[in-house]
Amino acid sequence: MSDEFRHIPVLLEETMTGLHIREDGTYVDCTLGGGGHSARIAEALGPTGTLVGLDQDDTALAAATTRLAPYPCRKHFVRSNFRHLADVLDDLRIEKVDGVLFDIGVSSPQLDEASRGFSYHHDAPLDMRMDRSQSLTAYDVVNAWDTKALARMIRTYGEERFAQKIARAIVQSRAAQPIERTVQLAAIIKEAIPAPARREGPHPAKRTFQAIRIAVNDELGALEQGLAAAIARTARGGRIAVITFHSLEDRIVKQMFKREAETCTCPPDFPVCVCGNERSLKLVTRKPVKASTQELTYNPRARSAKLRVAEKMVE
């Protein structure tokens, strides 16, 4: 595998256990990356099994294609956002699958590649696009959105308590000159946050950079659409496994799984059930699975990872 795209898959053993791979099954890795999770899926599949891998990043697709070439299962690698999962399966003429994996978040190579503009540690153009063919970039968000929109985005997606101060500082700074580089933005954010708060916790720019990345890539909207499609297209007895890295993503997964696992959707004040709803999912993990102490010693980025797994109950 190329040095350009190395990525240590998180919660690998736990994910494989959760997916419960059948050697003749059809599985979708919605976040192919460098192929770490997919390599284990492909290893468990026989010649009649099928692996579908999705990724927006050409570098990731190329690396995964090379890495997974030796495995005998059928393989389809598609450049696409997982929000288009249903369309991808339609194009491949696959009606139902036996398992779907989502590993949400930015992969290590994307974070480490300075030119991508994801990191406040490297000087780079403000980009942050996972799909480099899309038009909206971090530069557009930072230099065009008004104070109210910036503050709402930073507060909601970054869970940043100083969102209003940061938004005002960004707008004031760009009035003098455009904010073009990651180090410029990081410095503005740091200056906007009160000194006592800067001396504790993570880097002052961490939450705001996260918020901008989520906004640029519409990550939460994509997750909702992709997860809904996965639930609809997974066959009875199939599994859906989702790895998230912050509370906003985990909340979406938890709520969607919980809703689909409920048998009745009638309002609480109804005296009897009239919906006749049949639950579509069974929760395999009641609580999220987290990385072991052993895993954290060699992969610190797994610290915030949470895995949830559900099983499809109906066709």
Q: Per-residue pLDDT tens for 136-195?
A: 999 999 999 999 999 999 999 999 999 999 999 999 999 999 999 999 999 999 999 999
The mean of the pLDDT values for the chain is 92
pLDDT at residue number 57? 84
Residues 6+ apart with CB under 8 A from 140: none
Single-letter amino acid, residue 85: L
Long-range CB contacts (within 8 A, 24+) of 289-295: 289/11, 289/14, 289/18, 290/11, 291/10, 291/11, 295/10, 295/11
Contact (CB, 8 A) for 170 and 179: yes
d(CA 277, CA 13): 34
pLDDT at residue number 107? 63
Q: Per-residue pLDDT tens for 239-289?
A: 999 999 989 999 999 999 999 998 777 777 877 777 777 789 999 999 999
Please state whether 283 falls in left (phi above 0), alpha (psi between -120 and 50) or beta: beta
Average pLDDT over residues 14-24: 98
pLDDT at residue number 3? 46
The residues facing 282 across adjacent strands are 311
Count of residues in the chain: 315
